[in-house]
Amino acid sequence: SHYLTLYSSFNHLEDEIFNQYGVKVHIVRGNSDKDETVKAEMGNVTGELLEQSLYDKASVSVTGGSTMAKVSESLHPLDKDILFTPARGGLGENVVFQANTICASMANRTGGSYKVLYVPDQVSESSYETLLKEPAVIEVLDAIRRSDFIIHGIGDALKMAERRKSSDEVLSQLKHHHAVGEAFGYYFNAKGEVVHRVKTIGLQLEDLATKTNIFAVAGGASKADAIKAYLEIAPKNTILVTDESAAKAIINAE
């Protein structure tokens, strides 16, 4: 495919990350912190890999974020019946970057279907328990857990907490525990230990191991520590799509 020839110069870096973490890697040229087209190219590579591996009646669960939005923009009409679900409910994102929005747009672009998870960000313990008993919620949760493919972003811990307008208490807890990375609403320290998690329903970290493929998409030098932390615990069925500047920072920090 076109990007393989274009980016073959990163084979060595891809191999180094694979040897270190046991995760397959695709690297695009540049730094997505500084150049939006690099983020779009990570989206294209992910879209291409996903479209190659999808089969009829497959289901895909996605998280939110600006990188996932680029993945959705890269998708094409497919001759397959694909179901898209949001990986987790209510994580406090602006509506355009919410998993619900991204999965609806992926379904629209591919001609597939989608399910939405209606879970607010801040729920009391009792309403949370009640929500979990709602048949509509149970049905979506079931589809999420059964999903064959996962596509997710990785964020810098403190940036994500601020973007979600987390409380001062949560922010200081994250700082206290040296949180560096975030994925699926889980916050990790540099060793990949979970130091905090957003209380919401949907995919749990332990659900990942059984999936056909997991695409983790994140780039930019500013995310290097976050990606590195996530790689410490990333399931081996993960395929990381990242950019040159993140990949170099991950390897140089060894």
Residue whose CB is less far from ligand BG6, 70 or 115: 70
Whose CB is nearest to ligand BG6? 65
Residue from 114, 184, 187, 230 touching ligand BG6 (CB under 6 A): that is: 184
Task: Give the phi and the psi of residue 48 in degrees, each rounded to 5.
Answer: -65, -45
Pick the stretch among 64-72, 106-114, 132-140, 189-197 that binds ligand BG6 (CB under 6 A): 64-72
- Total Cβ atoms within 10 A of residue 167: 11
End-to-end CA distance of the chain: 31
Residue 23 and residue 46: Cα distance in Å, rounded? 15
Residue 182 touching ligand BG6 (CB under 6 A): yes
36 CB-near residues (< 8 Å, 6+ apart) = none
Q: Lay out the site mask for ligand BG6 across 192-231 (x = CB under 6 A, - = otherwise).
A: ----------------------------------------
Residue whose CB is less far from ligand BG6, 5 or 186: 186
Residue from 10, 21, 84, 97 touching ligand BG6 (CB under 6 A): that is: 97
Rounded to the nearest whole angstrom, what is the least distance from the CB of residue 153 to ligand BG6 in the complex?
3
Q: Is 151 helix (H, G, I), strand (E, B) or coil?
A: strand
Residue 154 touching ligand BG6 (CB under 6 A): yes
Residue 66 touching ligand BG6 (CB under 6 A): yes
Residue whose CB is less far from ligand BG6, 66 or 111: 66
Per-residue b or e along 69-94, where b marks 16 or more CB atoms closer than 10 Å to that residue's CB? bbbbebbeebeeebbbbbbbbbbbbe
254 CB-near residues (< 8 Å, 6+ apart) = 20
Strand ranges for 129-234 from DSSP E: 149-153, 155-156, 179-183, 186-189, 194-197, 213-217
Residue 64 touching ligand BG6 (CB under 6 A): yes
Rounded to the nearest whole angstrom, what is the least distance from the CB of residue 250 to ligand BG6 in the complex?
16
What tokens does 155 get?
Answer: 């964020």
Interaction site with ligand BG6 (CB under 6 A): 63-67, 91, 93, 97, 153-155, 160, 182-184
